[in-house]
Amino acid sequence: MITQAAGVPNIKTDGSAVLTVFSKKWNARYWQTAVLPDITTSQYFDNLQKGDQVDITSDPYVTFKDYQNGQKLDVERINLAKTQVKIDQAGYFNVALTKVDEELSHLDLGNKYLEVGQKEGQKYIDIAFFAAMVDAADAKNKGSAAGLKSGAFDLGLAGAGVAVNSSNITKFVTSFQTVLQEQVAAGSETWCVIPPWMHWCLVNSELKNAMMMGDAKSVLRTGFVGIINGMKIFVNTYLAGTGLTSAAPTAILAGNKEAIVYTLRMSEAKKWQNDSFETLLQGLMVWGWKVVKPVGIVNAYAYKAAEA
């Protein structure tokens, strides 16, 4: 409210000559884009109609042996292994909106509450997912001596992260792909999820605009920012850890898309009237995930080091 000079009446407070008016536009919140559909697979759920568990039969291991002319052949009998993926997590929101407020408000409160509730649900899932993945990789795909063949890559530890800045970010990120290659797990759909501070290091490194960048729409839609050494790079704020010090590093996640199974089995929202002249805005989500190929996951820990 504009300050009044001495002796000048304030018709805003004294009468109704100056009104308070309300905008019909919302002051929209910012939301982190979800990356789970881009870094996981749901292929095993394609033909699932009912049920809360999927049994996935793994490729068998067959032993190839030396042969001597005329020898009697050994017989190998295969035991097929399976992996179980359970749809075992659920969450909800339940917001009350009185009939009076709904009727008198100039805003579409009901639909806005549903929209925000569903976005909060996705945020909840993403935060839980990254927290669950901080130690998901095969033992040779993490730690200070990562690499199945070489053991040559320092990917950091939970309490002793790797110091990363714009001068060494390229070597650090490309090491994830090499670790996957040593496990023969690189494939054609590898990805890495990094925090915003690491994205800054990338765009201020020697790569600069040499990396293949995603178009503006893809950045807004998925968080995808580019490809380095065949690996898609995504930015996400929900990764665990602050990345401020070696003792509080960010937990970086990389891998092959087929390494993690994820499905959002149900995402339902509805409105219904109770007996108190209220509309209840409700949402229910049911989901599940599991690492089915730990050799296709890389865990790393890094913190933002000072620039040289």
Instruction: Report the pLDDT averaged over residues 187-200.
Output: 92
State how far the Cα of 266 lies from the Cα of 13, in Å rounded to an integer.
51
Q: Dump pLDDT digits (tens) for 86-143.
A: 888 999 999 999 888 888 888 888 889 999 999 999 999 999 999 999 999 999 999 9
pTM summary value: 0.84
Mean pLDDT of the chain: 86
* Mean pLDDT of the 192-215 span: 76
Q: State the sign of the Cα–Cα–Cα–Cα dihedral 47, 51, 53, 55.
A: negative
User: Per the structure, how many domains does the chain have?
Assistant: 1
Burial (CB count within 10 angstroms: exposed 0-12, middle 13-18, buried 19+), residue 258: middle
The range of the structural domain enclosing residue 201 comes to 24-308
According to the model, what pLDDT value does residue 220 have? 41
Instruction: Flag whether 14 is in a domain.
Output: no
d(CA 210, CA 235) in angstroms, rounded, equals: 18
**Strands 250-256 and 297-304, bridge-based pairing:** antiparallel
Domain assignment of residue 15, yes or no: no
- Local structure of 107: helix, strand or coil: coil
pLDDT score at 214: 47
147 belongs to a structural domain = yes
pLDDT at 147: 97
Residue 285 lies in a domain: yes
CATH at residue 98: 3.90.1690
What are 98's two structure tokens?
């009185």
CB 243 within 8 A of CB 305: no
Question: 9-48, pLDDT tens digit by residue?
Answer: 676 776 666 556 665 666 666 767 778 989 999 887 766 6
Residue 172 has pLDDT above 70, yes or no: yes
Indicate if the pLDDT at residue 230 is higher than 70: yes
Q: Residue 7 domain-assigned?
A: no
Query: Is position 30 within any domain?
Result: yes
Average confidence (pLDDT) over 68-77: 93
